[in-house]
Structure formats: C-alpha cells, structure tokens
C-alpha cells in the first residue's frame, strides 16, 4: 500500500458503481419491463394525448388518465420546496428535532464527545457513525416510550479524523490510518439500542436505560442455521465455525413480530484485504461478491480481515443478524438460513397461516430479490417460542416474467440444479453461495434491489430499485428510453390470493423515477406531481399504519438532479396513484435513511447519513479541505447536524398523525 492512499469512502454509490458481479445470461428487469409494456401495447397512441407529451413522459400521462377509481391523495401536508443547502427542511407545521448524533453519549458514564481526541473506548459508549436503519420497539405497545434500534453502516475517516486529509496542488489525499483510528472505526460500526421517551411532546434519550447497548465489530456473535459449524466458516480463531466477532456494513434491517432487531450485512467486500490464490476453493465464491476490495485498512492490523491469512473469514459475514434487545447481555445470532449476499434489509410480515415472511434485497446491479418463509409459526402469546424461527424455513429467489407474473424459486439443496454436480454438497453450501444458487435457477437480474416492504393494509409488496447505469444500449425501448437507468424505479408485487408465502404472484411498475419534465428519462409520476415531488434513486421505504408508502432516497445531488435526498410520500391507490410529495429534505452531501413511524403515526424517525460528504459541485460548499473547513464554515458544528450523522424525530406541531 502506498504511504498516501487516495481512499475516500463516501456514499456507497461508489461501491455500487463497480462493474457488475453477475455475469450470467439471466434476463434483466429492464428487459422484462420493456417486453411487458411492448407486448400489451402500453404506449399506443399516447404521444397524441396532449401537447405536453414533449416534456412529460407518455407513461406518466397514461398513469394519470387510468387512475380514476377513487379519491385524491392520502397525504395532507404543505410540500417542501426541493433544493440544496447545508441544513434540513421539513413540511410547514412540523418540527424536526435532532434526537441523536454521532458521538452522543448513550450511558451515564459515556464521555463527552470530542472529535479532536476521540478514542475507541469512548466511541464504544457513544452513538456510532453513519446511521442507516432505524427501528422502534415499544414498551407495552406505547407510541411514546420504547427502544430505538439503529444500524451504523460504515465510516468516513475524512470527516471523522482531523488532519487525515492532505491538500497539495488542489488534490486531496487521505493519509493512512493508524491502529488507533482503525479501532475507532471498529467501535463506530455495528448498531445502537437505546431507550427513548416522549415527554410533553418532545422525545429524549434515557441514558440510564437498563437495555441500552452498543454493538460493534468486537461484539461476540453466534452463527446459527444451516452454515453453523461448516468447514467453510472455520478459522484459526474459531475452529468450531460457530462464533464470530462483530457485524459490518449494516444497511437497512427490520424489527421482527416478536420484538427482536435484525441487522442486514451489506457491502462486506471492502473490509477484506490481502490476496487469495486464483486456484483457492473460495476464489470464485469471493469474486462473485467482490472480495477482497480492501478499501478499509483493517487488514493492516487484524489478520482476520486479510484473506491470505484467514481465507474463511469472509464466509462469516454477509448475513442477517438477530439481536434480542430485551437482554443486554444476549449474544446476537447470524441467521444463515436467510442467505449470504449484500443484504439491504429484512422487513417482515405475519402471513395468514401464522408463518413469518421476510423480504430481502441484494443491493448490487444485476442481482436478485429474495424472500424467506419460516417453517414454524409466530406465537403472539409466547415470545420465547419465536426466538429461533429464523433458523428453519425456505429461502426463495424471484423470477419475474414478461406477462406480469412472478415465480418464487426455492433455494433448497438437492432441488433442481442445486446438487453436488454443481458444487453444492449441503444446504450450508447453498446459503454460503446464495448468489450462485440464484444464478443457476435463472433468477431475474434487478436494478439494485434495496428496501422491500410488505404492506399489511393493501396486501402488496414494494420493491425499491435504486438504479442501474450499466444498462446497455440494446435494452433501450419506449419504456426504457435511455441506455442508463440513472434514477431507478419501484415495483409493486401482489402475492397470489393475498398469501405472502405464496410461490406465485403478479407485478407492476408503480413508478419509474427521475425528472418527468425530461421526456427521455421516461419517469411515470402522475401529472399531479409537482416540480418538488419527483425524485430519483429510491432506497429505503416505510409503510405507516394506514398503509401509505413513504420513500427515502440516496444519490440526488447538485449535478445529478439539482436537489438533495429526502423523504417523499407516494400515493399507491386511486386517482392519486403515482403522485409523490416532498415531506423532508436533508443537507447537502447527505443520504436519507430510515424512515420509521411509531404505531400511532404521530412520530416519524429518519436517519441523516454522511452529511457534508461529497457535494463538491454545490457552489455554496466551497470546500478546500474536509473536517477543518467544515467546522469553520458551519460554526454551529457542535449543535446542528451538518457534519454529524444524525437521527431526526419529526412530529406535528400541536400533535396528531403525520400527513393526515
């Protein structure tokens, strides 16, 4: 490694923009969308509908014409103006208060945050970095007192450590990290479990909460399910293959019906360095996941992150991790039955037969959509009886057809091509190499599947597909008018007979995203969507108790869309279907994560991740260096959000349900 490595771990768009790892000939979602729309003559005559067809997508016009079955929008709030600046904005009539920021103490003995003298010991007692998923687990069904659970996805050393960036001749270089700084990174990853309470209309952290806990890369975890104890998970430090320390790159996640917290391990490839011989048994497996990438410097100090020294260690990451939040001493479990890939999230719903269904996205271009159906059933009267439901069940991968149907294909050892002839000797091999199993089954290659949210009110499932700029010119057609899907889309799935465990169903494109005023983009927002209401790059989503869809974004930028990321309310029913309104927007450089609503819909929690990162092309940024310049330019550094990842709590002034 060079003495000065130009490594800037900004938003994970950089990782996502890497060459695709799925080299199969499986059809892409873009091909299927185009074939479906083409076959049913979706665009016939649309260009003559209106004179505005030159500036508004024909699909958007048809969507507005066809959506006449019911009333107007399900949302009521004054829309925020889209734009770019250094702070956050929420709809008029609402308060957006910072609840937690990187470095805030979580325990009575937590030291005061001092970014100029941070230590790993201090960080382990403080709120971690780059908060992504936000969940709420109520005490006694309360919407005003419970546990907040938050993922800490990754770290930005150039924003964390003063003096680590060198500026010379206009070029910025990140200097090598010391072991002490790497240890801070290890402590800043993982998750936070913290008691919160609403008093007199305002939320606050309960620092002496008995269940408060930090989970880090040094937290002991158990490996359970089909891969537990397998030789491919055994290491020098753990010859049993059943114990691992830590969880990394936790993106989205979920809360189970029995009140546990699940964390999704996503871009694990960047944490591993070293070299693996081309003829090593794991070489093809790791190449399918981009391992080792080595953008983190952990392998310089810890052998387990060096694949040349511990070649099996990467097989111990890439799973769904379950945490019993009601026991602060519990050992989290990596539930291998849900597969190993770049998990975005794990949202769940109790099916009508009592089984629990988890929807899972593999966030990389040309990878797949999955779901897991538990073998056992949920017992609402016996929490303990549910605690190992995630160790037994069936993992499925999605195959979307041109006619609008979907088939869920079981990833089960011994069925179809998942046999010894193809290198699978057991179910352990299937879950360790979930991507290859999906390849062999002919799953549909998707445009970066991110959050997938089942809706218990209308029975639908919403799939966020962020983008795919690798779409080729051969895939261009009336429904996909450009060679690069830069703005993403949202798929709506209806499982057969309203059965979330069904192996068949149907699908529709709810939205193709981007600026509808540019015909070439092909966006399909309704014509009631204002200039502020459209968005690109859908990432996380939530369905509130009324069944309404909320979408947050990752990737809007000054040069890309002329606006920051934010939270949009999206209508899915009736006249207003495909209408979107901007409710909250983040500071320049930030990604919008979460969102999450309390059971009474009177509070929304959102996560503002990596504020001030990137955004170099915003004229108001004026950055010549990183940390020091930001703290000088924004003198409210200690009190406001601009350079500290934060959880923000949104409530209606005077009380009441949000957007009602």
pLDDT digits (tens, 9 = 90+) for 606-619: 999 988 786 555 66
Residue 5 has pLDDT above 50, yes or no: no
Angle in degrees, CA 294, 300, 304, rounded to 5: 80
For 273, which DSSP code?
A: B
* Contact in structure between 450 and 368 (CB atoms under 8 Å): no
**What does the pLDDT read at residue 620?**
61
Query: Distance between CA atoms of 645 and 258, rounded to whole angstroms?
Result: 29
CA distances from 574 to 267, 357, 551, 616 (A): 38, 27, 19, 41
Q: What is the pTM of this model?
A: 0.91
Question: Is residue 483 very low, low, confident or very high in pLDDT (cuts 50, 70, 90)?
Answer: low
Look at residues 381, 322, 379, 324 and name the one whose alpha carbon lies nearest to residue 356: 379
The DSSP element (H or E) to which 39 belongs, if any, is helix 29-39
Looking at per-residue confidence, does 520 or 471 come out higher?
A: 520
Return the number of other C-beta atoms located less than 10 Å from residue 482's C-beta. Answer: 17
Residue 46 has pLDDT above 80, yes or no: no
Query: Distance between CA atoms of 638 and 630, rounded to whole angstroms?
Result: 11
What is the Rg, in whole angstroms, of the alpha carbon atoms belonging to the chain? 23
Query: Distance between CA atoms of 164 and 2, rounded to whole angstroms?
Result: 15
Question: Is residue 634 very low, low, confident or very high in pLDDT (cuts 50, 70, 90)?
Answer: very low
Percent of the chain with pLDDT over 70: 83
**What does the pLDDT read at residue 484?**
78
CA distances from 98 to 191, 430, 506 (A): 18, 43, 41
**What does the pLDDT read at residue 11?**
41
Question: Is residue 588 very low, low, confident or very high in pLDDT (cuts 50, 70, 90)?
Answer: confident
Q: Return phi, psi of residue 13, to 5°.
A: -60, -30
The two beta strands, 646-652 and 603-609, are antiparallel
Weakest mean pLDDT among 19-28, 38-47, 602-611: 38-47
Residue 18 has pLDDT above 80, yes or no: no
**What does the pLDDT read at residue 472?**
74
Helix (H, G, I), strand (E, B) or coil at 316: helix
Q: How many residues does the chain have?
A: 660
**What does the pLDDT read at residue 611?**
85
Mean pLDDT of 7-31: 59
Question: Is residue 54 very low, low, confident or very high in pLDDT (cuts 50, 70, 90)?
Answer: very low
Q: Specify burial of residue 520 (Cβ count, 10 A radius: 0-12, 13-18, 19+).
A: exposed
Residue carrying the six token digits 């352990």: 428
Sign of CA dihedral 496, 500, 506, 508: positive
* Contact in structure between 338 and 346 (CB atoms under 8 Å): yes
Residue 17 has pLDDT above 90, yes or no: no
Mean pLDDT of 415-433: 98
Query: Distance between CA atoms of 333 and 347, rounded to whole angstroms?
Result: 17
CA dihedral 305, 306, 308, 311 (to 10 degrees): 10
For 78, which DSSP code?
A: P
CA dihedral 214, 217, 223, 224 (to 10 degrees): 40
**What does the pLDDT read at residue 20?**
67
Mean pLDDT of 558-575: 93
Angle in degrees, CA 407, 343, 480, rounded to 5: 60
Give the pLDDT confidence of 394-407 residue by residue, as tens digits. 999 999 988 889 99
Give the pLDDT confidence of 93-136 residue by residue, as tens digits. 999 999 999 999 999 999 999 888 899 999 999 999 999 999 99
Mean pLDDT of 200-223: 98
* Contact in structure between 352 and 422 (CB atoms under 8 Å): no
Residue carrying the six token digits 């008018």: 481
Residue 639 has pLDDT above 50, yes or no: no
Return the number of other C-beta atoms located less than 10 Å from residue 303's C-beta. Answer: 14
The mean of the pLDDT values for the chain is: 87
**What does the pLDDT read at residue 164?**
83
Q: Return phi, psi of residue 213, to 5°.
A: -160, 145
Residue carrying the six token digits 């201090």: 122
Mean pLDDT of 567-581: 97
For the chain, what is the largest distance between any 2 Cα atoms, rounded to a whole number of angstroms? 70
* Contact in structure between 585 and 83 (CB atoms under 8 Å): yes
Query: Distance between CA atoms of 50 and 45, rounded to whole angstroms?
Result: 10
For 203, which DSSP code?
A: E
């Amino acid at each position: 490694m060079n003495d000065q490595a130009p490594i800037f771990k900004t938003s994970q768009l950089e990782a996502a923009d890497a060459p695709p790892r799925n080299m199969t000939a499986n059809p892409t979602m873009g091909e299927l969308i185009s074939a479906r729309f083409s076959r049913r003559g979706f665009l016939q005559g649309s260009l003559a509908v209106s004179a505005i067809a030159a500036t508004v997508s024909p699909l958007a016009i048809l969507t507005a014409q066809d959506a006449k079955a019911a009333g107007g929008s399900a949302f009521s709030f004054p829309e925020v103006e889209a734009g770019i600046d250094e702070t956050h904005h929420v709809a008029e009539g609402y308060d957006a208060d910072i609840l937690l920021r990187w470095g805030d103490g979580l325990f009575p003995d937590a030291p005061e945050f001092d970014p100029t003298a941070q230590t790993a010991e201090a960080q382990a007692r403080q709120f971690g970095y780059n908060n992504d998923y936000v969940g709420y687990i109520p005490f006694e069904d309360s919407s005003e007192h419970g546990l907040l659970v938050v993922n800490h996805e990754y770290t930005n050393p150039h924003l964390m450590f003063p003096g680590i960036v060198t500026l010379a001749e206009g070029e910025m270089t990140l200097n090598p990290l010391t072991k002490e700084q790497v240890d801070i990174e290890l402590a800043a990853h993982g998750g936070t479990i913290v008691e919160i309470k609403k008093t007199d209309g305002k939320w606050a952290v309960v620092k002496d909460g008995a269940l408060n806990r930090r989970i880090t890369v040094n937290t002991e975890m158990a490996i359970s399910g089909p891969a537990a104890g397998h030789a491919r998970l055994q290491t020098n430090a753990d010859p049993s293959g059943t114990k691992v320390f830590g969880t990394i790159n936790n993106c989205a996640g979920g809360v189970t019906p029995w009140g546990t917290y699940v964390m999704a391990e996503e871009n694990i490839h960047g944490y591993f360095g070293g070299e693996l011989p081309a003829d090593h048994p794991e070489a093809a497996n790791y190449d399918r996941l981009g391992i080792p990438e080595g953008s983190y410097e952990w392998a310089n100090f810890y052998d387990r992150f060096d694949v040349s020294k511990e070649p099996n260690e990467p097989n111990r990451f890439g799973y769904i991790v379950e945490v019993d939040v009601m026991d602060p001493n519990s050992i989290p479990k990596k539930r291998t039955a849900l597969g190993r890939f770049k998990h975005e999230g794990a949202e769940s719903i109790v099916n009508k037969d009592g089984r629990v269904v988890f929807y899972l996205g593999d966030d990389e271009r040309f990878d797949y959509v999955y779901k897991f159906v538990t073998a056992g059933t949920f017992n609402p009267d016996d929490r303990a009886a549910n605690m190992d439901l995630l160790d037994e069940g069936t993992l499925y991968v999605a195959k979307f057809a041109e006619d609008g149907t979907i088939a869920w294909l079981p990833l089960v050892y011994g069925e179809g091509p998942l046999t010894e002839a193809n290198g699978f000797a057991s179910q352990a091999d299937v879950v360790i190499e979930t991507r290859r199993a999906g390849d062999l089954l002919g799953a549909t290659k998707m445009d970066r599947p991110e959050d997938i949210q089942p809706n218990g009110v209308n029975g639908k499932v919403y799939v966020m597909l962020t983008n795919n700029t690798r779409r080729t010119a051969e895939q261009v057609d009336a429904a996909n008018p450009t060679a690069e899907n830069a703005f993403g889309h949202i798929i709506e799935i209806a499982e057969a007979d309203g059965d979330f465990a069904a192996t068949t169903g149907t699908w529709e494109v709810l939205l193709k995203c981007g600026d509808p005023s540019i015909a070439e983009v092909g966006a399909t927002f309704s014509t009631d969507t204002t200039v502020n209401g459209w968005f690109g790059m859908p990432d996380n989503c939530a369905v509130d108790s009324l069944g309404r869809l909320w979408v947050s974004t990752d990737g809007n930028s000054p040069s890309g869309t002329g606006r920051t990321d934010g939270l949009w309310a999206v209508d899915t029913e009736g006249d207003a279907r495909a209408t979107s309104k901007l409710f909250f927007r983040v500071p320049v450089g930030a990604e919008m994560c979460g969102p999450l609503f309390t059971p009474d819909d009177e509070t929304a929690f959102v996560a503002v991740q990596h504020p001030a990162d990137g955004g170099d092309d915003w004229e108001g940024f004026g950055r010549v260096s990183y940390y020091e310049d930001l703290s000088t330019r924004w003198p409210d550094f200690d009190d406001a959000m601009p350079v500290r990842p934060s959880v923000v709590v949104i409530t209606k002034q005077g009380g009441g349900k949000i957007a009602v």
